[in-house]
Amino acid sequence: MPQPGDASQPQPSAEDSFLDLLVETLDGLDESVRGQFLRQFFRTIAQIDFTDAQSNDYWERILLRRRELAENLGKRVSLKTALVDVLASTNFLRVPILMEYDEFKKLQINAATDSLTGLYNRRLFDEYCDKELNRAKRYGHQLAIVILDLHKLKEVNDRHGHLQGDQVLQLAATTLQKTMRASDFAFRIGGDEFALLLPQTDPEQAITLCRRIRSQYEIDIQPLKMDIGVTLDFGVAVHPHDGETKSALMNLADQRLYQLKNSGRAGSRVIPLETQAPREVPAAPTQRQAPAAPQPVRPPIVTPTMKTEAPPSPTPFQTQAEPPRPTAPYAEARKWERVSLAGTKAYAILTDVNQKTAAVLDLSYGGVALLLDNPEDVPTQFHAVLHVPILPPVRVVLRKTNSQQVEGGRARVGCAFVS
Q: What is the tens place of the pLDDT at every residue in 396-414?
A: 899 998 888 887 788 999 9
Those residues with Cβ within 8 angstroms of residue 1's Cβ, 6 or more apart along the chain or in another chain: none
263-275: per-residue pLDDT in tens? 754 333 444 444 4
Query: What is the per-residue pLDDT across 6-24, written as a single tens digit (0 to 9) for each?
Result: 444 556 666 677 778 788 8
d(CA 221, CA 200) in angstroms, rounded, equals 30
What does the pLDDT average to over 320-341? Answer: 47
| pLDDT of the residue at 129 | 94
What pLDDT score was predicted for residue 173? 94
What confidence score (pLDDT) does residue 112 get? 80
Closest-CA residue to 173 (of 258, 132, 232, 254): 232
Q: Please tell me which residue, 43 or 290, carries the higher pLDDT value.
A: 43
> What pLDDT is recorded for position 176?
94
Q: Does domain 339-417 have CATH number 3.40.50.2300?
A: no
What length does the chain have?
Answer: 419
Q: Is the pLDDT of residue 333 over 50?
A: no
Is the pLDDT score of 258 beyond 80? yes
Distance between CA atoms of 86 and 91, rounded to whole angstroms? 9
What is the mean pLDDT of the segment spanning 61-87? 86
Q: Is 173 in contact with 119 (CB distance < 8 Å)?
A: yes
Would you state the pLDDT for residue 103? Answer: 58
**pLDDT digits over 17-63, tens only?**
777 878 888 887 888 888 888 888 888 777 788 898 998 999 999 99
Q: What is the DSSP letter of 266?
A: S
Domains 122-276 and 339-417 share a fold: no
Mean pLDDT, the chain, integer: 77
Report the pLDDT averaged over residues 355-384: 88
Q: Is the pLDDT of residue 189 over 70?
A: yes
Q: Any alpha helices (H) in 6-161, and if so which ranges?
A: 14-27, 31-46, 52-73, 79-89, 101-112, 122-139, 153-160
Q: Percent of the chain beyond pLDDT 90?
A: 33
Report whether CATH 3.30.70.270 matches the domain 122-276: yes
Supply the pLDDT for residue 29.
Answer: 81
Domain ranges of the chain: 14-112, 122-276, 339-417
